[in-house]
Amino acid sequence: MGGYEAMKRLFDAAASALGLLVLSPLLAAIAVWIKLDSPGPVFYRGRRIGRGGRPFLMYKFRTMIVNADRLGGPSTPLEDARITRAGRFLRKRKLDELPQLLNVLVGEMSLVGPRPEVEEYVRLFTEEERQILQARPGITDWASLWNPDEGRVLAGSPDPERTYLEVIRPGKLRLQLEYVRRRTFWTDMGILFQTLTVTLLGTKPKMAGPLEQKGATCR
């Protein structure tokens, strides 16, 4: 894995730096929109658990009202009243995730890897599921392609936390385990390419990982 890790880190650093440079006008425009739309900071910094179980602060554009984490749980249905007007658009287009390029640049995250979880969900990991923490968390992965819109799945649920734990989380963890066991540089490139085509062109991924072959569904 040594050569893979070195190549992956080199690609992450170069791609995230280039992305931040090229996207800087868009990032600035989004920042202004957020400030005009609702009171509060431009960025949200959420505590997540990273590689080796080490906590870090994950950056996102703020899409919810200030102190939203004190008014509800970490699972956010589509109709959640805590989401701002600008936030609904940013979430739909995945633009709120762009500041995570900063996390990638400094090595806390990767472009491709298991999505980082909050500490309370990591505490629920079985011994087998803790293998997920062997990989650097990422902006996108097989689970992100399999279930690109958690908010839509949670919409209308009387208990979003329970729905997340019972409907979304099991399939998500199985895909993340598959990724950790099978990851290669070219696997990462395939996931990244599919993510870009799905996000930019709105196409449906040809396959969202090996779990799809086992009949998994989140709907």
Report pLDDT digits (tens) over 160-202: 788 888 888 999 999 999 999 999 999 999 999 999 888 777 6
In a domain, 127, yes or no: yes
In a domain, 149, yes or no: yes
In a domain, 94, yes or no: yes
In a domain, 219, yes or no: no
In a domain, 36, yes or no: yes
Number of domains in the chain: 1
In a domain, 71, yes or no: yes
Q: What is the pLDDT of residues 57-105, one digit of tens each?
A: 999 999 998 888 777 777 677 678 899 999 999 988 889 999 999 999 9
Q: Evaluate whether 83 touches 63 at the Cβ level (below 8 Å).
A: yes
pTM over 0.75: yes
- DSSP string of 96-165, one letter each residue: GGTTHHHHHHTTS-EEESPPPB-HHHHTT--TTGGGGGGSPPEEE-HHHHHSS-HHHHHTT-S-HHHHII
In a domain, 99, yes or no: yes
In a domain, 122, yes or no: yes
Residue numbers of the domain that contains 195: 2-214
